[in-house]
Amino acid sequence: MTAPHHRPGGGFRNPWANAAAPAFGGFLKWVLVQRIIRPRPADPPHSAFHRLEPKFAVPRAASDRLLVTWVGHSSFLLQVGGLNVLTDPMWSNRASPVRFAGPRRWVAPGIDFATLPPIDLVLLSHNHYDHLDDRTVRRLAAREPRATWLVPLGLGRFVRARGARDVWEHDWWQETPIGPALVACTPAQHFSSRGLRDRGATLWCGWAVRTNAHRVFFTGDTGYHPEFGRIAERYGPFDVALLPIGGYEPRWFMRPVHMNPEEAVRAFRDLGGGAHGTVMIPMHWGTFKLTDEAMDEPPIRARVAWREAGLAPEQFWMLAHGETRAL
């Protein structure tokens, strides 16, 4: 029986009601009409976004420790179970198919590429340019030939063509043991494309990483969907949940594919975070200007939503670029 997120005839789709990715006509309405009649709010100066000196373990953290360092956007260095793990690695100056145009990085990567520790595992969520960067993939593959790459269905060819050797494609709910960790591909509500004719050709996902000592959940890029509770039942309770809070305006266009801060807090509660002491680390904000909200709005709204939900302040870690936190 074909899984509901597999499109008849090939490709993939969101299987839930009202979860279809925005159409190209809506995109044109947004950028050619709405931005003219409704100007975007002012952004703060770039200096408002701080970059701290990372304090990750070299070459690796002890197997019973969990360290998280924010590189920027959805890129993290996770040190868990004695493994060094990168999520959606992105070190280029622009999230774009070309180097001379497209969204430009507001803050330098929180870790200088040359100072990365040895990488054991790379997790990719989908193929959009702000998450899957051609140049970064090539650099990582050349630097870390022994790293394992876990990718959603259809992305194996892309990373292999750029030098990655140990590549495993996953469908939702598929699991793979990597050393001391069990890594599981989880549902997400999004879409894929790198051009005009390949929408939905490859899958999108999140990832759960489970070791004897710790459990981490990386949502990938996602709108709010009904599966967060089931993810927690299978792979939680989580010590850390990495949840996107930016890229949400205009809401009529972005709702199916990007959570706003209030929805991210709701997803955190669906994951059982409030009951289990899970730490939420916001991501997907403050690095690239992709949508219409002000660059500094997502963390402000997220803090308000967190407080209004009655959640413990110490479980909300708003990292600066480059900041390392240890659990």
The yes-or-no verdict on residue 293 having pLDDT over 70 is yes
Tell me, what's the pLDDT at 33? Answer: 67
CATH T-level fold of 49-326: Metallo-beta-lactamase; Chain A (3.60.15)
| Residue 22 pLDDT | 83
Indicate the domain borders of the chain: 49-326
Summarised one tens digit per residue, pLDDT across range 3-58 is 999 999 999 999 999 898 888 787 778 877 677 777 888 999 998 999 999 999 99
Look over the chain and give the mean of its residue pLDDT values, rounded to a whole number.
Answer: 95
Residues 186-207 have a mean pLDDT of 96
The pLDDT, as a whole number, for residue 29 is 80
Alpha helices in 257-296 (DSSP H): 261-270, 273-276
**Helix runs in the chain, H state only:** 24-29, 35-37, 134-143, 156-161, 228-235, 251-254, 261-270, 273-276, 297-308
Residues pairing with 85 in the sheet: 78, 121
Average pLDDT, integer, range 95-106: 94
Q: What is the pLDDT of residues 149-173, one digit of tens each?
A: 999 999 999 999 999 999 999 999 9
Q: How confident is the model at residue 90 (pLDDT cuts 50, 70, 90)?
A: very high
pLDDT in tens, 224-264: 999 999 999 999 999 999 999 999 999 999 999 999 999 99
- Quote the DSSP letter at residue 163: T
Tens digit of each residue's pLDDT (9 = 90 or more) over 70-84: 999 999 999 999 999
Res 34: pLDDT: 78
- Residue 91's pLDDT is what? 98
3 state DSSP class of 259: coil
Conformational region of residue 262, where left means phi above 0, alpha means psi within -120 to 50, and beta covers everything else:
alpha
